[in-house]
Amino acid sequence: MQTQEALSVRTGGGANPVRSEERAGKYLTFRLGREEFAIQVLKVREIMGMQDITEVPHTPAYVKGVINLRGKVIPVVDLRLKFGLPEAPYDHRTCIIVVQIQGPGTPILTGIVVDAVSEVLNIAASEIDDTPDFGDGVETPYLLGMAKTKGKVKILLDIDSVLTAQELQGLPSLVQ
Amino acid sequence: MAHRGPKQAAAELLNRLAVDLVMGEEAGGEPWRASVEETLKALSQVMAEAESFEGARLAADLAQEACSASQNCIPRLSAAIEELRALTEGISEPAPPPQAPAALAQDPELLSDFIVESREHLGSIEVQLLTLEQEPANAEAIHTVFRGFHTIKGLAGFLELDEIRQVAHEVETLLDLARNGQLKITPEVIDVVLAAADYLNRWLDRLQAAVAGGPAPEVASPEALLARVRAMLEAPAGSAAPAPAPAPPDAASAQARPAKEAAEESDAKRGSAERTVKVNTAKLDYLVDMVGELVIAQSLVRHAPELAAQTDSRLARNLSQMARITEEVQKTAMSMRMVTLGRLFQKMARLARDLGRKSGKQLEFETFGEDTELDRNIVEELADPLMHMVRNAVDHGIEPPEERAAAGKPPAARVTLKALHQSGQILIEIGDDGRGLDRQKILHKAVEKGLVEEGAALSDAEVFNLIFQPGFSTAAEVTDVSGRGVGMDVVRKHIQKLRGRIEIRSEAGRGTVFSIKLPLTLAIIDGLVVGVGQHRYIVPIYGVREMLRPSEEQITRLENRGETVMVRDRLLPLVRLHQVFQVEPKSAEPCESLLIVAEAEEKSFCLMVDELIGKQEVVIKSLGDMFGAIPGIAGGAILGDGRVGLILDLSGLYFRTGERR
C-alpha cells in the first residue's frame, strides 16, 4: 500500500490528472488478453455479439470496418489491435461494445471489439489510483487510472482519447 | 430586462432622493445620510455616463456634503434637486446600440420562429409585388403585402427588433394609403417596397447568424430606406395634386406573366399552411433509417427458407400485402424530404425583373411546374447555377429592343423556366427567344484559345458544349452581370456535383434552351452490387456505360503504363478494383472477370470486378467522421441482407490510378 501511495504522486497519465472522486462511478468491465479493462457505463450505448463487418480499404489495421447499427453505418475498432496486442480469432464470447464519444462537434457512435464483456461495477473513489509511471517516459493520457476491486486490478480507460488518438503507446508494456 | 436609458435612470434616482429628503426631515441620522450619499453617487455616475458632466459634478459635491455630518444638508439638497432635474432633462438618449442586444438576448427559439415566419411572409410579399406590378389595381395582392408587413411589424415589436419594426411600420403606412386608393402603385413604389423587403431579409440573415452563434454580418442603418418611404408618403399628401404619373407600362419594365397563377398558388398555399407541421430534419433522417431497416427485416422474413416451404395461400397473400405496405411507407418517408421548386422559381422571377429593369430590356418571365418536388438539398444547390443561367439569358441571350424590332420579333422577350418529371428524373429547362448561340463565334474563340483545331468538323452539340470550358466567354464586353467567362463551367460543375447533366439546344435567331436533368434526390441512388472476392461494392449506375467479359485480344499490357482494354475501338485504361483496395479477388485474370465501362468527369475507364450480384436502389449514408475522405469510396449503404456495402466513387478511383502511375 505504501508503495502504491508513493507511485500515485507522480502520475503516469500526467496530461490530465483527474481527481479520483470524479472517476468514481459505474463501469462496464471487459477482457482483453489477460487484463480487465473498464469504461464508464455512461459512454456505452449497447453491447452486441460479433457480426459481419464490412472492411474499408485504406484504413489502419485496427479499423475493422463498418457495421449496420439499425440503419446507421458505424465504424468498428478492434481494441486489441489499437493497443498493439496480438490479434486473436473472434469466438462466441467476442463482443462489440457500441460507445458514444465526443467527436468534433457531434457525438460519434463507434463499435469496439473486445474479447469478452464481464460485468458492470460500481467503483468507489477510494478504490481508484492514478496510473503508475512505468519509468519509460511514455505518456498514457488515455488511461483514467487503475482500480482495485475484489482483489483484482482493472484498467480504467478514457475511451474518448483511446479512439481519437492516432497512436497509442505504452499499453503493451502494461498488459504483458 | 428592458433596456433602460440613462435619462430614466437619473429621473428614478432623483425621485428616490426627493423621497429621502421628505423622510429625512423627520428621520435624519446616520443610515439616512448613507442612503442619500449612495443615491447621489449613483446619480453622479449615471450623469457622467450620459456626458452631462455639470450634473455629475454637482451630484458628487452634494454626496460629499451629505456625508459630512457636521451640517444639516437638507436645505442645500432641496435647492439643488431642482437644478439636477433641469440637468437630467438635458440628457440625450443615446441611440440603442446596433447589436440590439435586447433582441438577441431573447429566447433563441422565439427568434428562430420569428425568422422562419418572417421569411415566409417576405416570400409571399415578393410574389404579390410582382403581381401588383402587372395589375396595380389588384386589391387582394395589396392586402396580402400589407398583411405580411403588418405581421412582421407586430412580431418585431414584441421582440424589440426596432429597425425591423420601423421599416415594416413605414411600409405598412405606405401600403395603407395604397389600400385606400390614396396612392397609386407605380414601379417606383414597388421598387421601394422590394428594397424594404430586401432590407428585412438582410436583417433576418443577421439574426440567423446571431442565433447560430456565428459572426453576424453588419446591416446598414434603415435611415436611407425610411427616408425614401417617407418621401413617398409625403407625395400624395397634397392630394389635390395629380398623382405621380404612372410610368408607361412598357417602359423598361420586366413583366412577370405567371404572377396571377403564382398569386392563386400562394393563396392555396396559405390555406394549406395550417395543415403542415415543421419537423426537425434529424427526426426525418431517423425515420428514413428506420424504414430502411423495416424494408430489410421484411425481406428477410419473406425470403426465410422456413417460409419458402409453406404453401398456405393466405400466408403468401399476407406477406405480399406486407411487402406492398412497407414499400409505400418507404416512399412516403422519402417524399417527406422533398420540397417544391416554387420558392426557387420566385427568386428567379424577381432576379429577371431586376435585371430587365437594369438593362433596359423588356422581358416576360414565365415559369411552369413550380409544384414539382425535389430533394431539399438539391433545390438549395440549384439556386446558384440557375441564377447564373437566368443572368446569361437576360444579358446575352436577349437582344436589345431595337435589335428585336429589326429582326421582326415582339419587343418583349420571353424567358421561360420550367420543371417537369421525365423518366424518373427531373428536367429543368431555361429558355429564351433571343439571338441564340453563335456557332461561328464560339468556334473562332475556341480555335483562338487552342481548344479545337482549325477546320475541325464539329457537330452543333460539340460546339455548344465548348462554352462549358473554364474561362470561355464570347461576350464582347464585360458587364457587371455576366460575361467574365467564369460561369458556364461553374454551372456545369454544380450540376455534375448533383449527379445531373446539362445540355444545350440553340438555333441562331430563335433562342437557346438549357436543359438540366437531375435525380429526384441525393439520398438514394440506383446501384449495381458487384463482388470482389468476399467483398461487396455498389457502383452508382449513372456512371456505368456497359459491362463486358473481355477476350484476350482486347487486353494490352503496356510497359510500366498499366493495362488497357480495347472497347468499341476505344482504348480504355483498366482499373483492377482488387488492386486499388488491396483485397483478395476470386480471379486476377481480366478474361475471367467482369469489366464495367465507367465514366467519370468525361473520362472513361474499365473497372475490373469478379461478378455482378444484382441491382439495388440504396440510401447513401456517410461512413462517419472517423474515416475522413477515403479515395475511391463515396459512402456506405445497407444492402438487402442488412450488411453494409461500400459505394464506389468512380472519379476517385480513376484519378487515384492516374496518380499512381
Instruction: Decide if A151 touches B, using CB distance below 8 A.
Output: no
SS3 content of chain B, % helix, strand, coil (to 5): 50, 20, 30
What are the strands, taking DSSP E only, across B289-357? 338-340
Instruction: Identify the structural domains of chain A with CATH numbers, from first to last.
Output: 2-167 (2.40.50.180)
pTM > 0.80: yes or no: no
A49 DSSP β-pair partners:
A95
Domains B339-519 and B524-660 share a fold: no
Contacts of B622 in chain A (CB under 8 A): 73
Is the confidence at residue B23, as pLDDT, over 80? no
Q: Which of B605, B650, B616, B615 is nearest to B631 (CA)?
A: B650
| R_g of chain A, CA atoms, integer Å | 16
pLDDT class for B26, splitting at 50, 70, 90?
A: low
Q: Do A54 and B536 touch (CB under 8 A)?
A: yes
The cell numbers describing B564, all together, are 488497357
**Order of strands across the sheet with A25-32?**
A116-123, A25-32, A35-40, A152-157, A143-149, A128-129
Q: Do A70 and B289 touch (CB under 8 A)?
A: yes
> Phi/psi of residue B310, each to 5°?
-70, 140
What is residue B134's predicted lDDT score, i.e. its pLDDT?
79
Query: Residues of B219-249 as b/e, b for ≥16 C-beta within 10 angstroms?
Result: beebeebbebbeebbebbeeeeeeeeeeeee
- C-alpha distances out from residue B255 to B21, B250, B348, B368, Å: 72, 9, 13, 15
Burial class (CB in 10 A: 0-12, 13-18, 19+), B436: middle
Secondary structure in 3-state letters for B484-516: CCCCHHHHHHHHHHCCCEEEEEEECCCEEEEEE
What is residue A171's predicted lDDT score, i.e. its pLDDT?
56
What is residue B528's predicted lDDT score, i.e. its pLDDT?
93
pLDDT class for A100, splitting at 50, 70, 90?
A: very high
B427 DSSP β-pair partners:
B420, B517
Instruction: Decide if A48 touches B, using CB distance below 8 A.
Output: no
Q: Check: CB of residue B505 under 8 Å from CB of residue B487.
A: no
Q: Check: CB of residue B209 under 8 Å from CB of residue B215.
A: yes
Q: Check: CB of residue B431 under 8 Å from CB of residue B503.
A: no
Q: Do B638 and A68 touch (CB under 8 A)?
A: yes
Three-state secondary structure call for residue B549: coil
The cell numbers describing B133, all together, are 406590378
Q: Do B624 and A73 touch (CB under 8 A)?
A: yes
Residue by residue, DSSP assigns B598-654 as: EEETTEEEEEEESEEEEEEEEE-B---TTT-PPTTEEEEEE-TTS-EEEEE-HHHHH
The residues, any chain, with a CB within 8 Å of residue B237's CB and separated by 6 or more, are: none
Is the confidence at residue A77, as pLDDT, over 80? yes
For domain B339-519, the CATH architecture is: 2-Layer Sandwich (3.30)
Helices then strands, each counted (H, E), chain B: 22, 19
Distance CA B56, CA A15 (A): 54
Three-state secondary structure call for residue B358: helix
Residue given cell 447564373 in the structure block: B388
Interface probe with A: pick from B535, B623, B644, B657, most Cβ of A within 10 Å: B644
Comparing alpha-carbon positions, the chain A residue that sits nearest to B581 is A57
Comparing alpha-carbon positions, the chain B residue that sits nearest to A104 is B625
Q: Do B630 and A56 touch (CB under 8 A)?
A: yes
Could you tell me if residue B201 is left (phi over 0), alpha (psi between -120 and 50 degrees) or otherwise beta?
alpha
Q: Do A57 and B583 touch (CB under 8 A)?
A: yes
Is the confidence at residue A126, as pLDDT, over 80? yes
Contacting A residues, span 88-107, partner chain B, CB-CB under 8 Å: 103-104, 106
Q: How many residues does chain A have?
A: 176
Q: Do A73 and B626 touch (CB under 8 A)?
A: no
SS3 content of chain A, % helix, strand, coil (to 5): 20, 40, 40
The cell numbers describing B175, all together, are 401600403
Name which residue leads in pLDDT, B233 or A8: B233
Q: Do A108 and B645 touch (CB under 8 A)?
A: no
Instruction: Decide if A176 touches B, using CB distance below 8 A.
Output: no
pLDDT class for A135, splitting at 50, 70, 90?
A: low
Q: Do A54 and B621 touch (CB under 8 A)?
A: no
Q: Give the tens place of pLDDT for each residue, B634-659.
A: 889 988 788 899 999 888 888 765 44
Comparing alpha-carbon positions, the chain A residue that sits nearest to B626 is A75
CA distance, residue A71 to nearest chain B CA (Å): 5
CA distance, residue A158 to nearest chain B CA (Å): 17
Comparing alpha-carbon positions, the chain A residue that sits nearest to B642 is A68
Q: Which has the minimum average pLDDT: A88-92, B155-159, B313-317? A: B155-159
pLDDT class for B243, splitting at 50, 70, 90?
A: very low
State what percent of residues in chain B have pLDDT above 70: 85
Q: To which CATH superfamily is domain B524-660 assigned?
A: CheA-289, Domain 4 (2.40.50.180)
Residue given cell 406590378 in the structure block: B133
Burial class (CB in 10 A: 0-12, 13-18, 19+), B107: exposed
Domain boundary assignment for chain B: 6-89, 101-233, 281-336, 339-519, 524-660
CA distance, residue B341 to nearest chain A CA (Å): 30
Q: Do B290 and A70 touch (CB under 8 A)?
A: yes
The cell numbers describing B450, all together, are 487552342
CA distance, residue A167 to nearest chain B CA (Å): 14
Contacts of B535 in chain A (CB under 8 A): 54-55
Q: Is the ipTM of this complex over 0.90?
A: no
Strands A25-32 and A35-40, how do they pair? antiparallel
Q: Which of B345, B174, B138, B171 is nearest to B258 (CA)?
A: B345
Question: For A71, which of B292, B581, B633 is closest by C-beta distance?
Answer: B292
Q: Which of B542, B559, B253, B586 is nearest to B425 (CA)?
A: B542
B110 DSSP β-pair partners:
none
Distance CA A21, CA A18 (A): 8
Distance CA A9, CA B412 (A): 87
Q: To which CATH superfamily is domain B101-233 assigned?
A: HPT domain (1.20.120.160)
Contacts of A63 in chain B (CB under 8 A): 626-627
Maximum alpha-carbon separation in chain B = 119
Contacts of A100 in chain B (CB under 8 A): none
Cα pseudo-dihedral B288, B498, B656, B566, rounded to 10: 110
Interface probe with B: pick from A50, A66, A69, most Cβ of B within 10 Å: A66
Assigned CATH for B281-336: 1.10.287
What is residue A110's predicted lDDT score, i.e. its pLDDT?
93
For chains A and B, count residue pairs whose Cβ atoms are closer than 8 Å: 73
Q: Which has the minimum average pLDDT: B248-257, B293-302, B304-313? A: B248-257
With residue B457 as reference, give the H or E element that holds it: none
> Phi/psi of residue B167, each to 5°?
-60, -45
Q: What is the mean pLDDT of residues A86-96?
A: 91
Distance CA B499, CA A43 (A): 39
Interface probe with B: pick from A56, A98, A112, most Cβ of B within 10 Å: A56
Give the dihedral sign, CA B346/B347/B348/B351.
positive
Distance CA B223, CA B237 (A): 21
Name which residue leads in pLDDT, B94 or A64: A64
pLDDT class for B195, splitting at 50, 70, 90?
A: confident
B366 DSSP β-pair partners:
B416
Comparing alpha-carbon positions, the chain B residue that sits nearest to A59 is B627
Is the confidence at residue B399, as pLDDT, over 70? yes
